[in-house]
Chain A
Amino acid sequence: MPEMALRLQQVSHLFHPGTPNEVRAIDSVDLELVPGSFTVVLGANGSGKSSLLGAIAGSLSRTRGRIFLGDQEVTHWPEHRRAQLIGRVFQNPLMGTAADLTVAENLTLAARRGSRRLLRPALGAERKRVIQEQVARLGMGLEQRLDTPIGMLSGGQRQALTVLMATMVKPTLLLLDEHTAALDPRSAELVIGLTQEVITAGGLTTLMVTHSLAQAVQSADRILVMHRGKLVYDIPDVRRQHLREDDLLRFFDQLRWADRLDESAATMLRHGYV
């Protein structure tokens, strides 16, 4: 059996544990991702999708269960150490780049992900040339603006650069957290196209959270649906099933129906009908 790119064993996470506001954001999730596969996570707001990515990336503290990336167990690794193996693009286009640093400085930081940072000049001639080449390949004209603070660029431009930055060093796993949700439609389309390109070119294993069913059926090999912290549906062969948006909508309707059933059961319990 080939080594899985990602393995989760009984991963759970509580928000506000031990208080009346305790929420089970992730509930005993088991998951394995095949190397080179593109998996999309769907689910309503608050279903635990982003928490799941946070648990994998290590940005949530005190998560239970075990997490493996490739052949390494990373359960006890802090976030910055897991970043050696994980590339990330956030929903907020301002979050993935350092606004006060120039485009070139941001990119050279990303090019050193997973290596030691010592006293070598960060932007020697050779490194700058490589960066210029990579930025030019985006076809956005940004290679002319390498010395501009990245905060001066638009959200779309910054997000495109963040996609590039997350994949400059090939990650074992690429995490995309609704990374086009905050962009205007044109920029979103551009970033989606770019994302597809780098994933295909690098043969990357990808886990993407999105609200767009269209995006899900277009790009995914596999679709997961989360609900109340649990993985409730796992559709492993999206392409063979010729899945359409309507089919996914039906899943969500079923979930909503089940939810209402739960609520009425709870109401009955509260009133002592059972």
Chain B
Amino acid sequence: MNLLIGAATIGLILAPLALGVFISYRIYKILDLTTDGSHGLGASVVAALLVRQVNPLAATLLGLISGMIAGAITGTLHTRFRVSALLAGVLTTTALYSVNLFVMGSGNVNLASADTLFTRAEILGRQLLGIPESLSIMGTTVGGGSFSALIMTAVLAAALAVGLTLFLATDLGLALRAAGNNPAMAKALGIDVERMVVVGLGLSNGLIALSGALFAQYSGFANIQIGIGAIVTGVATLMVGETLFGKRSLGRWIAGAVGGAVVFRLVVAGAVRAGLNPDALKLVTAIFVLAVLIVPGMINRARAGKAESAAHHA
């Protein structure tokens, strides 16, 4: 049960990452490599602030804003200076590696004794919801703190998903989607496509950095490796969500991104429990994404081939 709650919580922490990748990868069809850097940036900024006793909420918000700036830089490189989206992302992420080291002051920051959003959630949970020090769910003892963490991350993920869905249905949100879907049409309808890309990537990386900031607080440390592979994790969770929830409406698609992140982490926890070496996790994730990308095409070709040979025999 503890494992389950822990995995679900990490899944919910990764939900903003999935939402951010949804914006860059699905709305703008840009594989934005800034993701790795900004995920780590969110963790670094929050860690550096928390060890200096900054209010956890303020620290988390500053982490989010730092990610927005990083995304806006990539967007500007891409639109204003015509650098390809891929290269722009790589440049920003490479630069962020150094930035993250400077921000943290070293490769690793311990947050075990720091006041974080999660310690705050535990206190709030006890005061407002009356969550006891520890409670028993289905026969296992669960710490009140991890239960509060689950509730807080669930509320946050739901709020972000609902907020993003509503935002994308406003005039501005629709302009953002049109700019990604058909730039020529968007310009002809008076939409400043370049600005929309900058705003969109800013928003995307803000969410991604928020995810990194939460992750560092939850794990009790930040290190330089937190962001590595974040883009692949994001794409993987997105694909899990699309498979499970479909993408028939925007709301469903976005809910799927959140659901996909949780399911993804549950499966990972199950696999590790079953004996998968945690070091192999990124390899397995990469193989999973590759499989989702190429298997449907292979099945279609096989079907088409069969249909063709059937036509020949007929």
Contact = CB atoms under 8 A, between A and B. Distances in A.
Given A80-B191, A101-B177, A109-B178, A95 B185 contact: yes
Contacts of B173: 122
Interface in A157-197: 165-166
Given A79-B187, A83-B189, A98 B181 contact: yes
A134 interface: no
Given A84-B190, A113-B190, A121 B185 contact: no
Given A101-B177, A122-B173, A123-B169, A110 B184 contact: no
Contact of B170 (A120, A165, A166): A120
B308 interface: no
Interface string B151-182: 00000000000000011011111110110011
Contacts of B169: 121-123
Interface range on chain A (Cβ under 8 Å from partner)? 20 to 34
B184 A95 contact: yes
B274 interface: no
A122 B171 contact: yes
A84 B189 CA distance: 8
Interface in A29-81: 57, 59, 78-81
6 closest A-B pairs by beta carbon, nearest first, are A83-B190, A117-B171, A98-B181, A98-B182, A122-B174, A88-B188
Nearest to B27: A100
Interface in B191-236: 191-193
20 contacts: A59-B184, A59-B187, A78-B192, A79-B188, A80-B193, A81-B192, A83-B187, A83-B190, A90-B184, A99-B182, A101-B177, A109-B174, A109-B186, A113-B189, A117-B174, A119-B167, A120-B171, A122-B170, A122-B173, A122-B174
A194 B94 CA distance: 54
A101 B27 CA distance: 11
B172 A117 contact: yes
A57 B188 CA distance: 8
A98 B28 CA distance: 13
Contacts of A59: 184, 187
